Amino acid sequence: MAKDLAIILNNGSVNSAVATALAVQKYRPILLHAEVAPQPGSRARAAYDLQAQHFKPYREHALPMPFMALLQPSANSAATMLTAVDPRAAAHASSQVLRLLPLIAAAARYAVHYNATTIHVGLCVGSQGEELARATEYLQIWNEMLQMPCGQPDLEVVAPLLELEPWQVVDVGYQVNAPLDRTWSCAEEANEPCGSCRGCRARDAAFQQAGKPDPMRAMRRG
């Protein structure tokens, strides 16, 4: 019996790789990639393409969304595609949800088209009580909006990383064999991660706290 289909928002990040790896254990994946600032050689897009090669989705779609650049936290973070934090900043549920809303709307349209069961997102706010409670409430509202007014009683937005800290996302990624070597966290568009931006520092901290080697560093040393 074929698995149900799941729409998965994937931005090439660590969170996206882990959320996708968790989803494919139960569902056939349809990957969606939001192109906020399409440009030749984008490292976020390259990371997404590598993940798509790894997961071999049932379908995949790139969504041109240049207007989303208005929701970017800064002009220098165009590489930060907006489905998840990777973990490049402290999680704030409200700001993450604001950036997710148009993506959820687009994903819902694809879910209806493919008759998918779930929409998976890499939303991650950690275990802080107030932020977690707020994000959980947002998810409940999204699901009510999809299931009732949109007439999709079985469709659900799923955030499997919601309660995890960044180091725990890395740990889970190792457990499910997520392609962490096919991810991009740097705010720059260089050939190699800069190592000094907020994204790189947060990534290094997450792997160090998890007690796991960053496979991208291992590849560079090799």
Enter the tokens of residue 14. 């660590």
pLDDT reported for residue 82: 35
pLDDT reported for residue 76: 40
pLDDT reported for residue 46: 92
Domains for the chain: give ranges and CATH numbers: 5-221 (3.40.50.620)
Angle at 131 between CA 126 and CA 133, to 5 degrees: 100
* Cα 130 from Cα 92, distance rounded (Å): 10
What are the residues facing 120 on neighbouring strands? 8, 158
How many Cα neighbours within 13 Å face the side chain of 71?
A: 19
pTM: 0.86
Give me the helices (H) in the chain, please.
Answer: 14-23, 43-55, 93-114, 129-147, 166-175, 198-210, 215-221
Digitized pLDDT (tens) for each residue of the chain, 222 residues in all: 568 999 999 999 999 999 999 999 999 999 999 887 666 678 989 999 999 999 999 999 998 887 777 666 543 433 333 334 444 344 466 777 778 888 999 999 999 999 999 999 999 988 877 888 888 998 998 898 888 766 778 899 999 999 999 999 999 999 999 999 999 999 888 888 988 898 899 999 999 999 999 998 765 554
pLDDT reported for residue 11: 93
Buried b (16+ CB within 10 A) or exposed e, 196-222: ebbbbebbeebbeebeeebbbeeeeee
